[in-house]
Chains A and B, each alone.
Chain A
Amino acid sequence: MDPHFEYLTGTVKIPASAPPAWQKEGLGEFYRAPNDDAWGAAVCRVLYHESIHFWQLFSSAYVGNLVADDWRRLQHFRATGEVRPLSPEACQYEITAPGLPFSPRELLECWARFWDVHTRGPAAIIRDEAYPAAEVKQLEIVDPYTGSRSYTDEAYDYLMGGGPGSSFYEQPYRWLLDQTNGHSAFVAITFPTLVHSAFGSPNPVGVFCEAFDRAWHSGLLRRAIDSRFGDINLDWLNQWTAIIGEAHLPVIRKHHLPDFTSGLDVIVRGSLGSHPIYKEYVDQWRVLRGHLALNQQQFAAGPVPADATALYGYAIADMPTRDPWVVFGLPGQPDYRYLLGQTFRPVRVQFDDYVLDGRRPATRRLQEMTTGKDGDETYSSVLDDLTPLVQRFRRAEYAVGKGLPADAFE
């Protein structure tokens, strides 16, 4: 079986056994410590990669609109048994448009791959997959002042630049390294901000490529990145606003596009608002903002600290006050990853031997209880209805795609 995420049900499928700790205590600790030895090596990277796809649905209007198209088609199938064709936008998802170097699908997967390699770590991946480690001269460096270990540019680019096990997912990253003659730091620092911002537009690849070109030719950004801290987590935060202002927004304004539209906007305003699960996740945005406000009061209410460690804590708490979407844009930041894991946990994670269902928002359950209903804690009963319907729909889609009747496999 192939690990994957099904957008219509919010289900992650992982063909492995669930670590015993998750069966007892759920996934909370995974998002705090995704590489804990207690989880084993087989599932961490996959679960994190698929979690990124789940979060992309809420942060990206482009993704939200594609899922909304699928949702409308599913509703039509439920009512009529007929499979409608994909919208023109959905048809373009897998196509590399003329003049552009990759498809929206490849860029979306590269975005998830970027974070799963960063979070699992190149050294662990090379060990997990038994890649030839000798091909990388130096896997890690140790900060002489703090003693903390981090991966080298060389190790990261080895995996993202076309090393063993590479697929089309790494293609956009290879393109970036080519455009910059291998300037790893520039690519690594600008990529997450630009890709997150671009997927808030209706033309993510076009906007991304044009914005990246602006960034690379911006003296201001080149100088800023050349004089970076050298701590990637701090550099991402420190450059977030400048990258958006200097590279992304000029492209957006040139093409008369909205600054940024999220997947949550799509859910609130469009047809996904009738999805029984996603309409409830809208509540979680307020919960997340509440956590961010508390963090800001606790860690960023005073002057900017001079000490590097305190500075990072300040920046993590301060940046969301300027742009709350930074939490979704930088899910590799340990604090943001943990917060997303608490507030936007995947609806269901299905292992070979265990199913982990996320809890419904407390607001919804309380609302139902005040009207005398027994609020379900999880989405199990919704998925009991939705999952078989989606499976029938996918079977019918395949059938119709091959010129067979929609019920050929019933």
Chain B
Amino acid sequence: MNEIFMITPLLIISGGILLSLIVEMFYKKSEIILPWLSIAIFISAAYYSLLTAYREGVVFNSMLAVGGLVHIFYFIFNFGAAIVVLLSIDHIKKVGIYFGEFYILMQSAVLGMMFLSGAKDLVMVFIGLEQMSVCFYILTGFNRKRSSSNEAALKYFLLGAFASGFVVYGMALIYGAVGSLSIPSVSFYLINQSPSIIFIVGLLLFIIGFSFKIAAVPFHMWVPDVYQGAPTTVTAFMSTGGKAAAFSALLVVLVPVFSNLAKNNFIPLLSVLAVITMLYGSIVAIAQIDLKRMLAYSSIAHAGYMIIGLAAGNQNGVTGIVFYLAAYTFMNLGAFGVISMVEAKDNSHVDLQSYTGLAAKYPLLAAMLTIFMFALAGIPPFAGFFGKYFVFISAIEANLTWLAIIGVISSAISAYFYLRVVVVMYFKSTDSPIDVEPSYYALLGIFISALLVLVMGLFPNSIIQLISFFVG
């Protein structure tokens, strides 16, 4: 009975999915009621996650961890998803995909993310990963009449399934070496003996598979196409929640493994991965004129910064990654929210040209986008700055100062393309600025994101203390 109370957030989402399916079946206009039902489900799950975060433990024959850091992740996923619902209400009507199923798939994806972040067993990692990914494949191709959406879905599906193949094969080899799939027994195996070659190969395949999911170079080729082709609010969802979930799984698996492994074998690998990922993302983003594509490359670069924390592997690194993921979630949601509002019916007006003179006609929208661009570029006092700061500090503590220096250089490069958007909005004028359909729900979502980005930037210490209390 006690276990039932410990998994309240999971039960809320699971029950919510069933309830939404029933509503969808019996109520003809489910697309009107489902967004509000979803928001209620997400907010209550987020609320209960924080409320019960102090009760740490494992449930279901130690398959799943609850409480502590896991619940912080639950909060990020659920609150982020609630904001995505707000952004989607008017957007999916505008682009012609006004169906209730959209929200049910989102709930299902969130459930997958929650399994992924709480996993204590590689079976759970696999199930969570696939549940999340399959929902994302469908959501990406949701606009089935538009060929760019189909194409993005196909590319995402083929490369996502390809990556899953690597993950599963890696798990098979790890199982062969360890004789068990539970993560504690994997780290116990490493205490007692030096890892066999089968284990090393398995772990490498596992890391390669997850590098696809977190969009690290050289496994990033799907990201720009998928982010560009998917409906904009879906892009917002998978670039934040999906990435946070994949990173949480990497933390869950790699941190206990690395703490017992001869770390020196993997630090160079992760460092190289971090360097090429952030430099590639920052440099290629300069050449992009499509804002969704630009943010896709920016998301690659941000994955690189987060891998720095993983390479450092100390407690500050983990805390930094969690803070960074929370900050990245809200600033990216806001940025994509503004893009989804400016986007026209036929999916045009996502290029930089369309934003010319936006500040004169829609000062509020331009101001919001400016906040998010500053935050993504890592300019204080917004949340993005402290995300990078904590990750770089952890690298310096782990004697990886050179990695932190390259990180700083890379974020200096990236400031160019973020600030270019601001320059185009404020300092260029045009005779025919574009029209934006007002959407008050989306504006509300953008406001909440902006508020969180500001709060996280102004009071980073209290949030870091909260996170490190649960990490330690």
Chains A and B form a bound pair: no
